[in-house]
A = this chain, B = another copy of it.
Amino acid sequence: MEQAHSFFSFPYCSIPLDSAIEILLAHSAGPQGSSGVSLLEALSRIAGKDLHARIDLPPFDNSPLDGFALRHSDSAGASKEKPVLLRVVETIYAGDLPRKALSRGECARVMTGAPLPPGATCVIPFEDTDNQPHTVGLFHPLEAHQNYRFHGEDVRQGQGILRQGERISGAHLGLLAAQGFTEVPVFARPQVGILSTGTELMSGPEPLSPGKIYDSNRYLLAARVAALGAQPFCSPKIPDDPALIAQALEELLKTCHCVITTGGVSVGAHDYMPQAGSYIGAQPLFRQVQMKPGGWVTALYKDAVIILCLSGNPGAAAMSFDLLAGPLIRHLAGAAVVRPPQLLGVLQDPFSKTSPQNRFLYARQEGRDVFLPRTGFGSGLLSSLIGCNCIVHIPAGSPALHPGDTVELIPLSA
């Protein structure tokens, strides 16, 4: 191995968050192939291809309500005192076809969704007429195309209805079904390996030994992987031993499209993650990112797979996951938009610290309002993450913040 690539000589310089994301995306393979799945299976998956409308929606001019279809010119001059009388020539139900065109003085009884007969230019609801069986009285004039639903007014044949890389929603499913689609091409879900490291880690239900803690990061991160639409694959936890960590990484690299680890990334004597990366011949991409918390992040690269090594502190691990692994996993999943948008919200709580560096806080957005956790912000605190649905970004150099201040926020995947 070249000395230039050794972890021991790899500089600890901290790179900007945007550069770190760019490096991850530049080294990541992108989505695997796409395949067709049934409509309901496609929910929340990433579209593998562009789809275009096969037909106009609605497919034909139709009535938006229960009433009488007529030629609007026939209603000219109608009033309470001088009703216009029209002859009802047929009744058209939804699913029917009109049997005849409307001539002057004629109308058709039409139900919601029924095709409009040739000649009809508007529809009047039953309740605005005297609703008689054979001859119906109108009491006011109608305009051309009043209560008239045009074919293609919702969707035009050939129009794009699903873009490759879009996350498929229930509304998409409705639209695809309305077009007669029964299958949707979706990208394969990336498999994301998760490895918790640390001699201090135990797992329930074993009783906790003194000096040990239960591993929580594996679940915190697996849930986030799942929320991004990827498949979490959890390795057994590994003590602080670079050879054992290297072995676990090799195992995960066999099947995973990216690997997320926690623990062992800082400057402690047992922070073995960079060394384990060196054992397996992985290329270091960066070791520190200009963000707080979660700035200690080691990115390794081997066999076209990124190994992103996060802090062992749950809050720090979650933050670097959301800001760095999130874009990477969205990219692997084929999402067209991989970076979360930066939106604006109105802070409802004070934040008394100044922010000499780029700072991120978990928070709860409710409408335009943004609330900070009441339990504080230590990077070891798990309880403060409960209920949070966004991240507030406080740019480097910001002063303390006050209720009413406008803040940048990044929504979290549900």
Segment at the B interface, from A14-22, A25-33, A89-97: A89-97
Number of copies: 2
**Chain B residues closer than 8 Å to A205, beta-carbon distance:** 180, 182
Interface mask (A78-96 → B, CB under 8 Å = 1, otherwise 0) = 0000000000000101111
A304, CB-defined interface residue at 8 Å: no
Chain B residues whose C-beta falls within 8 Å of the C-beta of A269 in the assembled complex: 66, 91, 93, 109, 111
Q: Which residues of B contact A213 (CB under 8 A)?
A: 58-59, 113, 178
Q: Across the interface, which residues of B come within 8 angstroms of A208, CB to CB?
A: 55, 59, 180
Chain B residues within an 8 Å CB radius of A341: 366
Please tell me if the beta carbons of A112 and B175 are within 8 angstroms of each other in the complex.
no
Chain A 294-338, CB within 8 Å of chain B: the 1/0 string?
A: 000000000000000000111000100000000000000000000
Cα–Cα, bound, A409→B179 (Å): 31
In the complex, what residue of chain B is closest to A125 when comparing beta carbons?
A: B267
Count of chain A residues with Cβ under 8 Å from any Cβ of B?
A: 110
Contact B111 A270 (CB under 8 A): yes
In the assembled complex, A248 has its CB within 8 A of some CB on chain B: no
Majority secondary structure, A binding face: loop
Residue A405 at the chain B interface, CB threshold 8 Å: no
Which chain B positions have C-beta within 8 A of A366? 341, 343
B97 engages A178 (CB within 8 Å): no
Given A111-B269, A155-B382, A174–B216 Cβ distance below 8 Å?
yes
Check: A74 CB closer than 8 A to any chain B CB: no
Interface 9-residue window, one of A134-142, A284-292, A373-381, A394-402: A373-381
CA distance A215 to B240 in the complex (A): 57
A386 at the interface (CB under 8 A from B): yes
A330 to chain B, nearest CB (A): 15
- Contact in complex: B222, A40 (CB < 8 Å): yes
Q: Does A346 interact with chain B (Cβ within 8 Å)?
A: yes
Q: How far is the CB of A260 from chain B (nearest CB, A)?
A: 13
Near B by CB (< 8 A), chain A positions 153-191 give 153-155, 161, 169-182
**A277 interface residue per 8 A CB criterion:** no
Check A266 against B112 for contact (C-beta < 8 Å).
yes
Stretch in A3-11, A100-108, A223-231, A349-357 with 4+ CB within 8 Å of B = A223-231
B contact residues around A176 at 8 Å (CB): 219
A113-B312, A180-B205 given; A170·B268 CB < 8 A: no
**Min C-beta distance of A67 to chain B, whole Å:** 9
B97 touches A171 (CB 8 A): no
Q: Does A344 contact B (CB under 8 A)?
A: yes
Shortest Cβ distance from A207 into B: residue: B180
Chain B proximity of A358: nearest CB distance (Å)? 19
Q: When the two chains form their complex, are residues A113 and B198 in contact, meaning their CB atoms are under 8 A apart?
A: yes
Identify 17 residue pairs between A and B in the complex whose beta-carbon atoms are under 8 Å apart, listed by A's number.
A43-B223, A57-B383, A66-B267, A96-B211, A97-B210, A112-B313, A149-B378, A154-B381, A154-B382, A169-B387, A170-B219, A171-B382, A175-B383, A175-B386, A180-B203, A367-B411, A368-B369
